[in-house]
Amino acid sequence: MTGPRDPRRHSVTVHRPADFDEFWAATLERLKAVPLRPSFEYSESRSTAEVAVFDVRYDSFDGLRIAGWYAVPRPEYVPPPYPALMLLPGYMSEPVIPKAWARRGYAAFAVAPRGKLRSNERFNPGYPGLLVHNIVDPNTYSYRGFYVDAVRAVETVLTRPEVDPDRVGVHGSSQGGALTVTTAALLGDVVACGAAGAPYLCGFMDAARLTHSYPYEEINEYLRVHPDHERAVTESVGYFDGINFAPKIRVPMMVYLGMEDDVCPPETGFAVYDALDCPKELHTYDRCGHDAGIFWEIEKVESFLAGHLKPAVPTPSGDTTAVTSGVTAGVTSGTALSVAADQASTPEVTDGEFEAYWARVDAELAASKARPVIDLVPSRSTDDFTGYEIRISSLGDYRLFGYLSVPKGEGPFPGILATPNHGSVNNPPHYEDRLRYVMLTIMHRGQRLADSPFAASYPGLLTEGIESEQTYVYRGIVADCLRGAEFLAGQPSVDPARLAVVGDDLAVLTAARRPVFSAVEVGGALLYQAAARESDPGYPLEELNDHLRARPDTADALARTLAFFDAGRHAAAVRADVRVSVPPEEPTAQSGRLARLAADLGSGTTRYVLTHEGQTDADAADRWLAERLGVPASSKFDRQRA
- Rounded distance, CA 405 to CA 382, Å? 11
Kindly report the number of other CB atoms within 10 A of residue 261's CB atom.
Answer: 29
Q: What pLDDT is attached to residue 342?
A: 43
- Rounded distance, CA 233 to CA 166, Å? 38
**Residue 637 class from Cβ within 10 Å (0-12 exposed, 13-18 middle, 19+ buried)?**
buried
Q: What pLDDT is attached to residue 178?
A: 98
Q: What pLDDT is attached to residue 337?
A: 37
CA proximity to 380, closest of 353, 402, 358? 402
Beta bridge partners of residue 322, listed in sequence order: 312
CA proximity to 171, closest of 285, 248, 85, 83? 85
- pTM across the whole model: 0.93
Judge whether 133 counts as a catalytic residue: no
- Rounded distance, CA 333 to CA 21, Å? 47
**Beta carbons of 578 and 628 less than 8 angstroms apart:** no
> pLDDT averaged over consecutive 10-residue blocks of the chain (642 residues)?
69 94 98 98 96 98 98 95 98 96 97 97 95 98 98 98 98 98 96 98 97 97 97 98 98 97 97 98 97 96 98 64 33 36 63 98 97 97 97 97 97 97 95 97 98 96 98 98 98 98 98 98 95 88 96 96 97 97 77 90 95 95 97 68 34
- Which residues have CB under 8 Å from 4's CB, separation 6+? 638
Q: What pLDDT is attached to residue 514?
A: 98
Going 112 to 115 to 117 to 121, the CA torsion angle's sign is positive
For 563-596, give one letter per residue: b (16+ CB within 10 A) or e: bbbbbbbbbeebebbbbbbbeeebeeeeebbbbb
For 490-527, give one letter per residue: b (16+ CB within 10 A) or e: ebeebbeebbbbbbbbbbbbbbbbbebbbbbbbbbbbb
Q: What is the DSSP string of 155-207?
A: HHHTT-TTEEEEEEEEEEETHHHHHHHHHHHHTTTT--EEEEES--SSSHHHH
- Rounded distance, CA 56 to CA 46, Å? 13
Judge whether 47 counts as a catalytic residue: no
- Rounded distance, CA 319 to CA 313, Å? 8
Q: Where are the beta strands (DSSP E) in 369-437?
A: 373-376, 385-393, 399-407, 413-418
**Beta carbons of 508 and 567 less than 8 angstroms apart:** yes
Judge whether 290 counts as a catalytic residue: yes
Kindly report the number of other CB atoms within 10 A of residue 412's CB atom.
Answer: 14
Single out the catalytic residue among 149, 241, 261, 566.
261
Single out the catalytic residue among 290, 422, 570, 612.
290
Beta bridge partners of residue 256, listed in sequence order: 197, 283
Single out the catalytic residue among 93, 119, 174, 381.
174
With residue 475 as reference, give the H or E element that holds it.
helix 473-489
